[in-house]
Every structure is written in structure tokens, then in C-alpha cells.
Amino acid sequence: MPTLSPTGKDPRSVKADALVVATAATPEGPVLLGADALPRGLRSALSSLSALGVSGKADEVHRVPSGGQVAAPVVVLTGTGSLAGDEAPSLEALRRAAGAAVRELAGTPTVAVALPADDVATATAVAEGALLGAYAYRAYRARTADRHKEPVATVHLVTPRYRDRHLKAAIERAHVVAEAVAATRDLVNCPPADLYPAEFARRAQDQAKGAPVKVTVLDDKQLAAGGYGGILGVGQGSSRPPRLVKVAYHPRGAARHVALVGKGITFDSGGLSIKPAQGMETMKLDMAGAAVVLETVLAVARLGLPVRVTGWMALAENMPSGTAQRPSDVLTTYGGRTVEVLNTDAEGRLVLADAIVAAGEENPDAIIDIATLTGAQMVALGNRVSAVMGSDDALVADVRAAADAAGEQFWPMPLPEELRASLDSQVADIANIGDRFGGMLVAGLFLREFVPTTEDGRRLPWAHLDIAGPAFNESAPWGYTGKGGTGVGVRTLVTLLEDVASAR
Ligand code: BES
Ligand code: MN
Ligand code: ZN
């Protein structure tokens, strides 16, 4: 993570290897935002942005020589996108513009960022984007490190609010959150040979050292003794046995308790219902939900939020072998419900079923699960918009509000009652696949069956987040998001838990 310090200096005199300023696309053409930050000579050199090929679009980053007119040798123009009239860029446009510039500037040690940041909210957004953009996964490149540019190490954030204690606090929070996002990306990017259930559990214990968080690991023997048939069934084809990890943060005086449940398939080959080669290429991503859960609980603990949070990571490797579960096998999930496994590639819902029931035993105020659950999520919403479903409209609305504030995109999806019957099994309580159309919703309906009901017979507030597409960026980098693991979900959940903590 880079160091980021606010400064009230004139951007012209900030010592850095590059000075970043914003552009925007307006009906009158491309403009520099906050051009007064630059000396007149440079401004006139930049007066014809179009001639330089600058349009102000998002994700457009240009470098121009400063000609010695400012302390930095290079001026970087980063697009914030379309603006109508004298409208200001949105907070998310600022995050992305700062992130795109810092990401593109990898290999540049020190960067001054002078985007429009006149108040605490905008300065915070710029800081968040810069921190999120300064990421690279380098764990397997020690020998060729010199051929790969290092992320920006120092960011000077130019803002008139540089002394504001609210900004200081917001930057500290941004650091904790960006670290959590980076740690999630690291886990997702790790090759599955090296990140298997026991190792994932060990890393959870390791990362929690020194934090007020208690990590409990159930190994395969304990899972068998406890009757966790879903996790065991999915994991039984692998030579590397499954785990259920509980990550508990229970601060004194917390009024509310939220359970987070994450899908942690460290590799999804599909099992005997094996995936084609192409479909398997990215399947190390299939533990992203569990990574989000772990890093969210740790971030909430680091922030010291007054809310109890219990994370559940359902970890298994889904492999075909002589010991793998077969299509038409019936397993008994934790708590006793039986499931006919008609397709071993619909494994996420099986491990989540156990974990949701286990989470419910503590009677939390809400259960939120997060999972790279269905290819259908990507068909419906693409690679940048995640889905949120649930039994409780207020909780779904809270998730959406938190996502909006955090700068992540979550869109509400229905759980149509008429699809439920498609999950009926000939032999067991329920089958693990149903109608192919609406596959994301069918998966949601399957999970709903395992959400416990309270004494008065109502279902505990529950939300299901399907992040299949957004968890992993296979396309070109954009904004503060590089290729590979994105860490999506962490910022929404941390923000949601802040909201819960402050509403008590
Ligand atoms: N892990 C996949 C879902 C997935 C697909 C995530 C692509 C990210 C990118 C999941 O376990 C799966 O295989 N789902 C099946 C379910 C089907 C068999 C009902 C799917 O979506 O095809
Ligand atoms: Mn699968
Ligand atoms: Zn899967």
C-alpha cells in the first residue's frame, strides 16, 4: 500500500515524479478541471486538448512533459468522463480517475494528485481511488520483478482541506479498506495449487493474529462429526480436504450481530460434471466470497466498529476423482435437510447451505452471503454489476445504499416463487439444480431454503450477493480495477456494517 499524505501546497511546487490533473468531456469539448492549479504557460500549451488527443473520457490517461513549468517533470491528464454544464464529477468518477492515473503510473515512485478535491468528501474519494489503483500482484514474479513496474509508492494528495481532522480520519479508514481490498485480490489471484482449504484456513488464522478476532477452524473430521454433508460432499473428490472457518469479531457493547457467509471453492473444476477447459480457466476465483468475508471482518475489527460480525468461510476444492460425489448422490446438509446432487458443478450452494445453517444457530440479526455463484449472473448483469437478492426488502435496500456510497454496483434481483418447484427432487428434500433459465434466481431460491426462521415463523433477514462476474476482471483494466481479482464486495460490506454500527 502506498503512503498517502494530504498537502496544502501549490501543486506547481509539490516535488513528485508526476503531477496528475483531471480532465472532463463537456458539450463544449474537453476541459481541464481546476486548471488554475497549473501555471499560465502550461495552461496555454494544453489549451487545445483535442489536438493532444484528449477527450476527457473516463479511463483516458495522457502524459505530457511539464517543460519545467512545475516541479514535477510530467503532467498526467486523467479523464473523469462526461459532465453537463458546470456539473462536478461524481465521487465515483473521481475515485476511478485517480485510480486509473495511479494504476497507469506504476513504475513512477512519487505522484502528486491534484484533482478537484475542495471538500472532505471529494478529497476522500480521490484518496480511495489512488490507494485502490496502486495494486499489483507480484507474489510469483520475484525473479522478473525488474521487468514489472512497481506500484506507485507515495501519493501527495493536493487539497485545501489538508488539515481537516475529518479528512485525516477518512484517509485512515480508506487505508484500512484499501488494504482489505488488496488482501482479497491477493487471495483471489493466488494459484489454486497453493491456496487449498487448509492453507486458506491457515492464512485466516495468520492474518487475524493481533486483531480482536477469534478464528475457529473445523477440519474434515470435525465436519464429519458435525454432519456438514454439503461441504464434505463437495470436498470429497479432492486430495485436499475441506474446512469451515469461523471468524468472529465481538466487541463489548455491540447491539447488533451480522453474519457473513462466503463461498470458498479454492478451485472449481465442476467435479464429475466437469467444466470445459475454457470454463475452468478462471475458476481459482471461486473462493472470492470467502476472501471478502475474511477481509471484511478483519477490516471491521481494525476500524473498531461497534457491531458484532461473524464470518463463515465454507472452503472446499471441487475436483473429479474416484472419491468424488456423483450426479444423483444424496447428501445430508448440516441440520438434516437432504439434497440430491444432480450436477456437481452447482457446488457453491451446497457448501453455503451448511454454512448458512451454522450461521443461523447464533441467531444473528441478519445473514448476508456472498458468492461467485452462477454463470447466469454474468449473463444477466455483465462483469461490473453484481446481484443482490433476499428475503427482506429493507436489508436489500441497505445493501444497495451501502454499495452506492462505496462506489460498487449491486442490482436487485427477484426470487420468483414459481421457480421454486423446479428444485423439487424425486428422492430428496430438494435438488441442487432447477430451471436453467433464471439460473441465478434458482440458486437464490435454493439458498433461501436454508435460511433459518425465527420463533414467530418468519425468515431471518437474509441477503444473497452473487458476484460471479465482478469478482474477477478478465478484460482490460479500468478505473482503480486492474486485471484479475477485484476485491468487489469488501467496500459494500464494510460500509453496510458501518451503517449498522451507527444505527444502534
Ligand atoms: N463457480 C461457478 C459459477 C461461475 C461461473 C463463477 C463463471 C464465475 C464465472 C459455479 O459453481 C457454477 O459452476 N455454476 C453453474 C451452475 C449450474 C450447473 C446450475 C453455472 O453457472 O453454470
Ligand atoms: Mn461450479
Ligand atoms: Zn463454483
User: Ligand 1, residues 273, 280, 345: which to mutate, most atoms within 8 A of Cβ?
Assistant: 345
The one catalytic residue in 12, 63, 275, 483 is 275
Q: Is 310 near ligand 1, meaning CB less than 6 Å away?
A: no
Q: Atom 13 in ligand 1: which residue has the minimum CA distance?
A: 345
| Widest pairwise Cα distance in the chain | 79
**Residue pair 56/23 in contact by the 8 Å Cβ criterion:** yes
* Ligand 2 centre distance from Cα of residue 344 (Å): 7
Q: Is 237 near ligand 1, meaning CB less than 6 Å away?
A: no
Residue 285 CA, closest ligand 1 atom number: 8
* Ligand 2 centre distance from Cα of residue 276 (Å): 12
pLDDT at 147: 84
Q: Among all ligands shown, which has an atom nearest to the Cα of 263?
A: 3
Tens of pLDDT, residue by residue over 95-139, are 999 999 999 999 999 999 999 999 999 999 999 999 999 999 999
- The string over 91-126, giving b where at least 16 C-beta atoms fall within 10 Å of a residue's C-beta and e elsewhere, is bbbbbbbbbbbbbbbbebebbbbbbbbeebebbbbb
Residue stretches of the chain with pLDDT short of 50: none
SS (H, E, C) 53-85: CCCCCCCCEEEEECCCCCCCCEEEEEEEEECCC
* Ligand 1 centre distance from Cα of residue 332 (Å): 22
* Ligand 2 centre distance from Cα of residue 329 (Å): 16
Residue 349: active-site member: yes
Q: What's the alpha-carbon Rg for the chain, to the nearest Å?
A: 24
Residues with CB under 5 A from ligand 2 (ion): 268, 345, 347
Structural domains of the chain ordered from first start: 3-163 (3.40.220.10), 182-376+420-441+455-502 (3.40.630.10)
Q: Among all ligands shown, which has an atom nearest to the Cα of 372?
A: 1
The one catalytic residue in 103, 161, 349, 400 is 349
* Ligand 3 centre distance from Cα of residue 429 (Å): 22
Residues 482 and 486: their CA atoms lie apart, in Å, by: 7
Q: Is 372 near ligand 1, meaning CB less than 6 Å away?
A: yes
Query: What sign has the CA pseudo-torsion 433, 437, 443, 449?
Result: negative
Residue 265 CA, closest ligand 1 atom number: 1
Q: Atom 3 in ligand 1: which residue has the minimum CA distance?
A: 374
pLDDT at 504: 57
Residues 78 and 415: their CA atoms lie apart, in Å, by: 41
pLDDT at 456: 85
Q: Is 352 near ligand 1, meaning CB less than 6 Å away?
A: no
Q: Atom 14 in ligand 1: which residue has the minimum CA distance?
A: 374
Name the average pLDDT for the chain: 97
Residue 40: active-site member: no
Residue 480 C-alpha cell reads as 482503480
Q: Is 386 near ligand 1, meaning CB less than 6 Å away?
A: no
Residue 372 CA, closest ligand 1 atom number: 6
Q: Atom 17 in ligand 1: which residue has the minimum CA distance?
A: 346
Tens of pLDDT, residue by residue over 289-302, are 999 999 999 999 99
- The string over 202-226, giving b where at least 16 C-beta atoms fall within 10 Å of a residue's C-beta and e elsewhere, is ebbeebbeebebebebbebeebeee
User: Ligand 1, residues 349, 350, 374: which to mutate, most atoms within 8 A of Cβ?
Assistant: 374
